[in-house]
Amino acid sequence: MATNITWHAGLTRNERSELRKQKGCTVWFTGLSASGKSTIAIALEQHLLHLGLATYRLDGDNVRFGLNKDLGFSPRDREENIRRIAEVAKLFADSTTIALTSFISPYKADRQIARDLHADAKNTDSPLPFIEVFIDIPVEEAEKRDPKGLYKKARAGEIKEFTGISAPYEAPEKPEIHIHSEKTSVEEAVAQITKYLQDQGLLKIGS
C-alpha cells in the first residue's frame, strides 16, 4: 500500500445526503448459486428506482467480467473478489446511492471484512449502514432449479470448488434479513427488504 498519499476532505456524507435527499447503504445478498439472490436483487433495484431512489446493483455479470476478471475461484481469489466488491459498494453507499450486491460470498470472514469496511468511520463522518440479506435455500432445492446447469457440472466433476458441492458455504448467523426463497415469492422478498430499509430510516419515500 502506498504511504505517500493524503486524504483530501470534500463534502461530508451528511451534506451530500441533504443535497441528494437520500441516504446511502449497502444491501449485501448472500446465498447458494440458484438461491434467487440475483432475481430478488434485480426486482428490488427496479422497485427502488421506481420510487425515485438512486440504486445500483453489483453482481457477477458486471464485476467478474470487468473489475475482477483477473480472479478465479480459489479461496484466496474469492476473498479478494469480495474485498474489491465491498470497497466499490462502500463508494456507492458513500455517494448516497443504495448499493445492492449479489454474490455467493460463502465465507463468514470475508463477509465480516465487508461489514467492517462499512463500519470504519476513518476519513468519514459516520459509519455506513450494511444490511446482510441471507437468501436461504436447501442445496437440494437449488439443484432442482439449476438454471445454468452448474450443479450438474459440479456433480460430474467438471467444475472444481463449487460452493455447496465441493466447496463450503458458511451461512450467516445473524443476518439483518433472512429469506427462505423456496417459501417466499420475489414480490414478498422485495416487500420485506423495502420495509426493513424504511423502518431503519434509509428510505425517504414520498419526501
Domains in the chain with CATH codes: 19-198 (3.40.50.300)
Identify whether 35 is a catalytic site residue: no
Which pLDDT value is given to residue 73? 76
pLDDT score, position 63? 78
| Span 39-61, average pLDDT | 94
From the candidates 33, 102, 105, 181, give the one annotated as an active-site residue: 105
Closest-CA residue to 85 (of 104, 119, 59)? 59
Mean pLDDT of 69-80: 83
The x, y and z cell numbers of residue 50, run together, are 421506481
Chain mean pLDDT for the chain:
89
CB-based contact 111:172 (threshold 8 Å): yes
By C-alpha distance, which of 62, 113, 60, 67 is closest to 90?
Answer: 113
pLDDT of residue 161: 86
Q: Cβ neighbours of residue 11 under 8 Å, at least 6 residues apart?
A: 19
Which has the closest alpha carbon to 134: 32, 25, 26?
32
Q: Which residue has the higher pLDDT, 146 or 63?
A: 146
What was the pLDDT predicted at 114?
96
Question: End-to-end alpha-carbon separation of the chain, Å?
Answer: 43
Q: Cα separation of 38 and 116, whole Å?
A: 24
